[in-house]
Amino acid sequence: MGKKIKKENLEKLFADIGKEYKIIAPIKKRENYVFAEVEDFSEIVLDYPMTILPPKEFIMPYKEPIFVFENGEFGEVIPNEKIALFALHMCDVNAIGRLDFVFWNDLYYKARREKMLIVGISCKPIETCFCKSTGANVLTNTCDLFLKAEEDYYVGFSMTEKGRKLLSQLYFGPETVYVREVKIDYDEKLQFDIYAIGKRILEDYNNPVWEETAKNCLACTNCTLVCPLCYCFDVIDETFVVPEEGKRIRCWDSCLLLSFARVAGGHNFRKDLKARYRNVYTHKFRTFVDEFGVPSCVGCGRCTTFCPAEIDMREILFRLGGA
Amino acid sequence: MENIYKPFKSKILKIVEQTCDTKVFRLEVKDFKYMPGQFVELSIPGIGEAPISITSSPHEEGYIDLCVRRVGNVTNALHRMNVGDYVWIRGPYGVGFPFETIKGKDIVYVAGGIGMAPLRSSLRYVLHKKKDFGKVTLLYGARTPADLLYKEEFDIWAKECNFLVTVDSDKLPDGKPSGWKGNIGVVTTLFAKLGYSIKDAIGIVCGPPAMYKFVIQEFRKAGMPDSSIYISLERHMKCGVGKCQHCQINNRYVCIDGPVFNYADVKHLPESI
pLDDT digits (tens, 9 = 90+) for A144-163: 999 999 988 999 999 999 99
Closest partner residue to B245 (CB to CB) among A106, A232, A267 is A232
Pairwise CB contact (< 8 Å): B271 & A275: yes
Looking at chain A, how many residues does it have? 323
**Is a pLDDT exceeding 80 seen at residue B158?**
yes
pLDDT digits (tens, 9 = 90+) for B98-115: 999 999 999 999 999 999
* Residue numbers in A near B9 (CB within 8 A): 73
Closest partner residue to B6 (CB to CB) among A74, A110, A265 is A74
ipTM (interface predicted TM): 0.90
Pairwise CB contact (< 8 Å): A287 & B49: no
For residues A254 and A230, is the Cβ–Cβ distance under 8 A?
yes
Question: Cα dist. B149→B8, B67, B190 in Å?
Answer: 28, 9, 18
How many CB pairs below 8 A link A and B?
A: 115
As a whole number of angstroms, the distance between CA B28 and CA B87 comes to 10
* pLDDT range class, residue A71, cuts 50, 70, 90: confident
* pLDDT range class, residue A203, cuts 50, 70, 90: confident
Q: How confident is the model over B122-129, as a mean pLDDT? A: 96
- Entry pTM: 0.93
When mean pLDDT is compared across A186-195, A307-316, B13-22, the lowest value belongs to: A186-195
DSSP type of residue A286:
I
Looking at chain B, how many residues does it have? 273
Question: Cα dist. B248→A189, B39, B255, B259 in Å?
Answer: 32, 16, 8, 11
Q: How confident is the model over A255-272, as a mean pLDDT? A: 92
Q: How confident is the model over A303-317, as a mean pLDDT? A: 95
* Residue numbers in B near A255 (CB within 8 A): 245
pLDDT digits (tens, 9 = 90+) for A89-113: 999 999 999 999 999 999 999 999 9
As a whole number of angstroms, the distance between CA A60 and CA A110 comes to 10
DSSP type of residue A169:
S
pLDDT digits (tens, 9 = 90+) for A220-236: 999 999 999 999 999 99
Q: How confident is the model over B145-173, as a mean pLDDT? A: 93
Instruction: For residue A167, list its beta bridge partners.
Output: none
Q: How confident is the model over A273-287, as a mean pLDDT? A: 95
Q: Can you state the angle between helices A208-216 and A273-282, rounded to 10 degrees?
A: 110
Sketch the domain layout of chain A as residue ranges. Answer: 2-177, 194-319
Cα torsion A120, A126, A132, A137 to 10°: value is 10
When mean pLDDT is compared across A39-53, A126-140, B58-72, B164-178, the lowest value belongs to: B164-178
| SS3 labels along B42-104 | EEECCCEEEEEEECCCCCCCCEEEEEEECCCHHHHHHHCCCCCCEEEEEEEECECCCHHHHCC
Check residue B31 and give left, alpha or beta (phi > 0: left; psi -120 to 50: alpha).
left
**Is a pLDDT exceeding 80 seen at residue B59?**
yes
Q: How far is B124 from chain A (nearest CA, A)?
A: 26
Pairwise CB contact (< 8 Å): B246 & A261: yes
**Is a pLDDT exceeding 60 seen at residue A254?**
yes
Q: How confident is the model over A166-177, as a mean pLDDT? A: 88
* pLDDT range class, residue A244, cuts 50, 70, 90: low
Pairwise CB contact (< 8 Å): B238 & A234: yes
